[in-house]
Homo-oligomer: A and B are copies of this chain.
Amino acid sequence: MLDKKYLSLDKAYRILLDSIKFRSLSFEMVPLEEAYGRITYEDIYASENLPGFKRSTVDGFAVRSQDTFGAKETMPVYLTVKGEILMGEAPSFYLNPGEAAGIGTGGMLPEGADAVVMVEHVNIVSQNLIEVLKPVAPGENVILEDEDIKKDELIIPAGKRLKPQDIGGLAGLGFTEVKVTKKPIVAIILTGDEIIPHNEKATPGKVRDINSFTLAGLIQNTGGISVKMGIVKDKYEDIKDLVNKAYQIADIILITGGTSAGIKDMTAQIINELGTPGIIFHGVLIKPGKPVIAGICNGKPVFGLPGHPVAVYICFELFIKPVMEKMLGVNEKKFKNIVKAKLAKSIYSQAGRTDFVRIQLKEENGELWAYPLLTKSGLITTLIKANGILCIPEELLGYEKEEIVEVELL
């Protein structure tokens, strides 16, 4: 079902994402220490109340609040100090009317007490006697036993990428491990008679592998495991063999190079032969990245990416990252990291095509300027020098110099 008609970006995106099953990957239990950045597989509920006991939020004296009613500087209330509550200890005594007990921030209130007077609002008369200068309401300066978290409360929903503070919270609740979605294994196959490994000397006609290094980092940042399958010549049988090998071990297969004209339809043919339904689109109205191929082979996404390093980057962001996130079950509101800048130079696009222009952001005289990096070559230069991407949507023909544009940070 090879269809070479170019699709709009929006349509290609929808066709692709609609053919991916949400959270199609399995799960695993990982210790908290290894859960940073992982995606929760299911909702996580609290197994207990937190803090679990009545806790002071200030340094001061635990009291029965009604004892303090009417207290003021000119007419303090006198309370007997029954003792000092040690941090980390449950108090051994009961607080009777007219009594108070020294308590630190985080200390546990004794039974009978329902509030804490801050040390600033107390005159310490002697070891056993204080003057309270200000009344406290019931519950004042106190956290109730279930006020932070109630047992069985949802604390982290499924599909969240765990941040350091989430892991902190789980530790506080006594979790030692978390159920997370397994990392997708993403195989990278490089095709092209001209490609050599990065550690080989480049001779005329040859270029070194760039894409497997860019892709490996992007895959890792998105929460996957990259597997470099190696470099293969532009030969049908060789590519097919390596794709079959990748299919055995990977959840997603990326084939770079071999996606434009002529003999390069091999990639498309191999994807179609790998499984059903095969290719779901071949060619999208974007620049760079137009010849991109996407296929689903027996449930596994397989991509044919152009060999151009910038196109590889763009195609990853547009197609592969959302696919990985859907397979991982990521389910949280995303905010794009965007800055507004003044365009330093007019740029033009074609109607119906979505362009992605590499941008170098520079601050000049307190203003942020967006310099388009428009070189015909730009293999490495624009990859490295850009710190932003400007999208020209399909309905626009470009942007004018000095127009304010929204640049997505890289």
Contacts and interface: CB of A to CB of B under 8 A. Distances in A.
Interface of A: 32-33, 36, 48, 50-53, 55, 57, 59, 86-90, 104-108, 119, 141, 143, 147-149, 155-156, 163-176, 192-196, 198-218, 220-221, 234, 260-262, 307, 309, 313, 332-333, 335, 337, 339, 361, 363, 375-381, 383-384, 386-387, 409-410
8 contacts: A50-B380, A86-B193, A155-B384, A164-B220, A165-B384, A174-B200, A174-B202, A337-B337
A213 B174 contact: no
Contact of A333 (B156, B163, B309, B363): B363
Contact of A379 (B148, B204, B384): B148
Given A194-B88, A195-B88, A379 B164 contact: no
Contacts of A33: 213, 216
Given A57-B376, A176-B198, A213 B88 contact: no
B335 A165 contact: no
A260 B173 CA distance: 25
Nearest to A168: B214
Contacts of A384: 155-156, 165-166, 169
Contacts of A361: 333, 335
Contact of A172 (B86, B205, B208): B208
A380 B149 contact: yes
B52 A204 contact: yes
Contacts of A378: 148
A379 B50 contact: yes
Give how many copies assemble into the complex.
Answer: 2
Interface of A is mostly: loop
Nearest to A59: B261
A92 to B, nearest CB: 11
A164 B409 contact: no
Most buried by B among A149, A206, A218: A206
A368 to B, nearest CB: 9
Contact of A205 (B90, B164, B260): B90
A169 B337 contact: no
Contact of A36 (B174, B220, B379): B220
B164 A202 contact: no
Given A170-B213, A171-B209, A174-B199, 4 more contacts: A52-B202, A89-B193, A172-B198, A335-B339
Given A192-B106, A261-B59, A337-B335, A383 B53 contact: no
A143 B377 contact: yes
Nearest to A147: B377
A52 B380 CA distance: 13
Nearest to A46: B380
Most buried by B among A88, A201, A221, A339: A88
Contacts of A379: 50-51, 143, 148, 172
Nearest to A141: B376
Most buried by B among A59, A173, A200, A377: A377
A204 B339 contact: no
A134 to B, nearest CB: 17
A252 to B, nearest CB: 16
Most buried by B among A36, A204, A309: A204
Contact of A192 (B52, B87, B199, B204): B87
B217 A167 contact: yes
A104 B143 CA distance: 71
A207 B165 contact: no
Given A147-B377, A164-B215, A169 B57 contact: no
